[in-house]
């Protein structure tokens, strides 16, 4: 049975490949029409090719939106349903002592995190305490296990970036830079087309993680 993390990755890989085929076919049609530019019917032919391309991409988005929803929901369900290793008695005492304090110093949090580094649940609690005390730094568990809340936030981030991935085959940073320049100086009639989004070829590239981080995430969302 395919794992949830593999299902999401494979569907995204299918989507980017199919979209590329649609866009490549469209650009080839425009290239063939270029020699007829200015002739009767040229604008109509370009409009027809554009309409055909847009319709194909919309159909692709409609189909794969359902696939992505299934994959994301399966990852959420697996993550929320997994068991977690409870803190030891000593770690629980540390957490209770910290939570009773009105304020906690960064050094105290550092020492607590060092004592709890082998327990993901404890580290998640320490991160909450750090945030409440206004500290930006976050702590990471060395247990190889990610807290349920941390994985949920990662899934939220994936879902948020998915919409941009589906709507555009160009990098968001390039679009923002173009729009910022246009807002300041007006549209550049000589501007080059935006670069295409780099196609990912591995799970690490798609999820933006590697090594132990990717393994821990996949274990959490695959229900392992």
Tell me the mean pLDDT in the region 111-137: 91
The pTM for the full model equals 0.78
The string of DSSP letters for 56-74 reads HHHHHHHHHHHHHHHHHHH
- pLDDT of residue 134 exceeding 90, the answer is yes
Q: What is the mean pLDDT of the chain?
A: 92
Q: In terms of Cα–Cα distance, which of 166, 195, 174 is closest to 18?
A: 166
- Greater confidence, 137 or 95? 95
If one counts every other C-beta atom within 10 angstroms of the C-beta of residue 126, the result is 26
Long-range (24+ apart) CB contacts under 8 A made by 60-68 are 60/15, 60/18, 60/19, 60/22, 61/166, 61/167, 64/11, 64/14, 64/15, 64/166, 65/166, 67/11, 68/8, 68/11, 68/12, 68/162, 68/166
- pLDDT of residue 212 exceeding 90, the answer is no
For residues 148 and 99, what is the distance between their CA atoms, to the nearest angstrom?
20
What band does 58 get if pLDDT is binned at 50, 70 and 90? Answer: very high
Look at residue 142 in the predicted model and tell me its pLDDT. 78
- Greater confidence, 70 or 38? 70
Asked which of 77-81, 135-139, 176-180, 192-196 is least confident by mean pLDDT, the reply is 135-139
- pLDDT of residue 161 exceeding 70, the answer is yes
Asked which of 38-42, 61-65, 106-110, 196-200 is least confident by mean pLDDT, the reply is 38-42
Q: In terms of Cα–Cα distance, which of 60, 63, 38, 33 is closest to 49?
A: 33
For residues 130 and 108, what is the distance between their CA atoms, to the nearest angstrom?
10
What band does 4 get if pLDDT is binned at 50, 70 and 90? Answer: very high
Tell me the mean pLDDT in the region 46-51: 95
Q: For 7-39, what is each residue's pLDDT tens digit? A: 999 999 999 999 999 999 999 999 999 888 888
Q: For 183-208, what is each residue's pLDDT tens digit? A: 998 888 888 889 999 999 999 999 99
Look at residue 65 in the predicted model and tell me its pLDDT. 96
What band does 224 get if pLDDT is binned at 50, 70 and 90? Answer: low
């Amino acid at each position: 049975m395919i794992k949830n993390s593999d299902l999401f990755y494979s569907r995204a890989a299918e989507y980017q490949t199919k979209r590329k085929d649609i866009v490549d076919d469209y650009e080839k049609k425009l290239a063939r029409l270029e020699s007829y530019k200015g002739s009767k019917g040229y604008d109509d032919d370009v409009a027809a090719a554009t309409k055909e391309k847009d319709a194909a991409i919309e159909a692709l988005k409609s189909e794969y939106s359902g696939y992505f929803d299934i994959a994301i929901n399966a990852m959420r369900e697996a993550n929320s349903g997994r068991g977690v290793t409870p803190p030891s008695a000593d770690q629980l005492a540390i957490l209770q002592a910290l939570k009773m304090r009105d304020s906690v110093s960064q050094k105290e949090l550092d020492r607590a995190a060092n004592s709890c580094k082998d327990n993901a649940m404890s580290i998640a609690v320490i991160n909450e305490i750090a945030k409440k005390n206004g500290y930006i730094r976050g702590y990471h568990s060395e247990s190889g296990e990610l807290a349920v809340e941390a994985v949920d936030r990662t899934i939220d981030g994936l879902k948020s970036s998915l919409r941009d991935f589906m709507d555009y085959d160009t990098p968001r940073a390039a679009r923002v830079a173009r729009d910022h320049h246009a807002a300041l100086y007006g549209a550049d009639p000589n501007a080059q087309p935006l670069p295409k989004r780099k196609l990912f070829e591995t799970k690490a590239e798609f999820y933006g993680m590697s090594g132990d981080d990717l393994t821990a995430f996949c274990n959490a969302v695959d229900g392992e």
